Amino acid sequence: MKVDNKVLVIDAGNTSIKVGSFINGHLKTVEIFNLKNLDLFEKWLCTHAKYNAIVSSVLSNEDTKRLTCLLESYTLVTAETKLPIKLDYKTKHTLGVDRICNAVYSGTYSKTDYCVTIDIGTCVKFDLTGPNQHYIGGSISPGIQLRYKSLNDYTGKLPLITTKAKTKLVGNDTNSCIHSGVMNGLKAEITMMMAEYRVQFPSLTFFMTGGDASHFDLVSKNDIFADENLTLKGLYEIYKHNA
């Protein structure tokens, strides 16, 4: 297998674009661009367009095309892309590419029969990969900001707050009650889901990633591995598989 010396790995998510530069197979630098300022990303990309790239995008077709038109050579990952795992998923065309990348990485490096990636970002995504690198499925629920926003959007008087700091269990005003409900409620959801997975799949490893994963103190057991760049690394595994 021949892999280029430098490869750009681009993960276009719901709120930001994350770009990893792999040199000789190792992740060397990571750049993050806000989706509200695509001009800055396009300016940066113009100076790196000559490198081969692989792209994961959950953006609209129009926005994805805007990102990729500046690249001289790239692969856009879809459910039809050749993968190092098998997708046992009924609606492959609706499966998010970020979830595929996460499953590829955990399925490649897990030493147990089953593995789960937990991606805590705009949404909270659990993805289960089984024996022989078969992707089985998982779950999706709202992340921190979506929970805050829904409370504000669908009520008449609840304010919109944005804090992601740790909080006490019992709030003593409206803001602190919302803060507790969202942060402690989401942590309880994640830990309960993990407990259920442990019961159903005893030979199990968890991989945790996502922009909001650091706000939860969850990596305290030997079966949990945290990596903020897991999606980028999974994307690079797909690149190698197709090189």
> Is 98 designated active site?
yes
SS (H, E, C) the chain: CCCCCEEEEEEECCCEEEEEEEECCEEEEEEEEEHHHHHHHHHHHHCCCCCEEEEEECCCHHHHHHHHCCCCEEEECCCCCCCCCEECCCCHHHCCHHHHHHHHHHHHHCCCCEEEEEEECCEEEEEEEEHHHEEEEEEEEECHHHHHHHHHHCCCCCCCCCCCCCCCCCCCCHHHHHHHHHHHHHHHHHHHHHHHHHHHCCCEEEEEECCCHHHCCCCCCCCEEECCCHHHHHHHHHHHHHC
Distances from the Cα of 156 to the Cα of 147, 151, 153, 178, angstroms: 15, 9, 8, 14
- Which one is catalytic: 63, 88, 98, 119? 98
CA distance linking residue 135 with residue 226, whole number of Å: 20
Active site residues: 98
